[in-house]
Chains A and B, each alone.
Chain A
Amino acid sequence: MQLRRKLSMLVAGALVLAVPIVGWAAHLGLPSDTAHGHPEGPAGPRAAEDIKNTLHNLSTSNIINITAGAPVNIGPGTSQTAEVCVFCHTPHGANLLAPGATPLWNRTVPNGSTVYVIYGSPNFDGTNSGQPQGVSLACLSCHDGTIALDSLINMPGSGGFRPANLTPPGGTTNLIGVAAGSQFVSPGTNTMNNAIRSDNGPNYGAIQGGAAPFPNLTTNLSDDHPISMQIPSNGNCAAGPPAIGCDPQFDQLITNSPPADLSGLRLLTRNPGSINADKRDSLRSYPGVTRTPGAGFYIECASCHNPHTPRPMFLRLPSRYDSAMSLASGGGLTTEAQMGVGTGGLIADDPNAGSLVCLSCHQK
């Protein structure tokens, strides 16, 4: 026992000493050791994006369980096509009703047709927190439960252009057939139903696994994290006095996130040393689309979620993940081992270990 204790102390000490050195190396742009799964290192067994192996593959090609290799029915009903992308995107004739961030969208978009109950709180400083905009409308075009999963504009193959579905509420194209009693899809309307999903498994975002009740958020978004909200900070809110739209917990985020790229996308991090090299894994904010075009940075569904990733809960990876930062403020809680994703695990397999996705933005 004594020996074991000494050993564990030695290991802990070595880890702690190694952390600032690695952090320093990263700060100087030197290659860093990836033994602890630094986000710039190997991202685990899953690619950042691999749509075919996710619950978002609604096609008949989705018959392989990537974990066990056994055929599974993921639930949205029996699909009439083996195409994967077509349920969201089309190469021609896309929906332009929701401008920006709904790339080549092949679905009816609930823009103006649906009035959502939005989040509010006495503590909430988000501005322009009106109705959902941009990429969030793309997500909600399935996930609010009002539009058919197969309310497509351009059907697979030729001769299947459905202009009626360019405008809400759209309607089913019978591209999926739904059996009575389906857990996910309402027969007849082919919209997501309100049923509670009870199955679960190790690969939650991937094929297999439940996410009740979140596939169908409904049009009441007040029990969900706000979206289409401008990040409420000018980088110096702690200096006060308190002002509308100024919350000091986001000062680090605004100060340390890199500038927007040419498309207007701004990757998010509280720690300039920990931005993910693969931007698809990075938490991000979107330019204002409908309310303040070209100005401000907005949190949308896709700020945290990547609809194409096979990672758990379709999550992007945390950007706060940086041991040096935590050490600097007195603790040291954010190596993967300390977050409990050790023993062969990687942050890519458990992106919100230690609530790191949350803490990537919130200085709480």
Chain B
Amino acid sequence: MNAVGYAAPASRGSLSSRLAEIAAIVRRDHLLWVLCALGPVFALFAIIRVYPILETIRLSFYRYHPTQRNRPFVGLENYWRLLEDDAFRTALYNTVQFCVLAVIITLTLAFTVAVLLRSIEKASPIYELLLYIPVVTPWVPASVIWKWIFDPIHGILNYALSSIGLPRLAWLQDEHVIVYAIVLVSVWKMLGYFVVVYGVGLRNIPDEVLEAAELDGATPWQRLVHVVVPLMKPLILFTVIIATIIFFNVFAPVYVLTASAQGAPAYDFKVLVAEIYQNAFVFYRMGYAGAQSVVLLVFVLSLVFLQFFLFRDKRREGAA
């Protein structure tokens, strides 16, 4: 159906009759309107999305300072420097560590909650609503709130810890603890979103499937592991990719939580996006920051390809 309009006209008439045919197609399919409506929107996409992405790659091969005329091509030099840059290596390590923890904890918890909510269907909207409140909270105020909670002296978290006999922690000052503080904020903020997403997936599982398993004498655990989880696999995979990309780009909570407060210096927890920000917009080493951005781009793209291939294998299995 789709291709019909654009197959070469069958008649081998003169040039003018061809033109007339094309004009007829243009009119029939409203192609002028399509051009006028889609053209500007697509141009915006080209200028605001496509060009900057390609330009980032180009920049990474240059030494580039925005106010200097001299912007020499340096080949792969920026990338070689990345390999020797301790700050970058630390940032990458921290980002991966944070991301793995945040993804695993958020998704495990969200899946558990979503499954439990399906057992108390009547009460679930109110729980989903309450859990969704942190999701609509922007990262900056969310981090500001938690910074106050993490306060080593007056914070309620340490108050709660000490009142049940546990030692107080220097949440934002101790280099070994701060990653957990940022993970805590991130899990708190994103949990509700994934609860809702899993909830939609779980509601799509037909009741008959579960009832059949129950009639066969499957325990709740068996039903979960052998029926629910396999059916949810594509959705789980999708959420892993989405959550990984969200958390890998962590910046605002790090910016807020690692800023010193009340004269108590916070530990300078470096992450990838903060490194890009600093190199590009504090030191104006844009070529070098470009190379770091390309690392981020490659990471995101490889995740997307991974998802694509896993889904394709899945489909092939289904067909076989």
Same complex for A and B? Answer no
| Residues of B in contact with A (beta carbons under 8 Å apart) | none
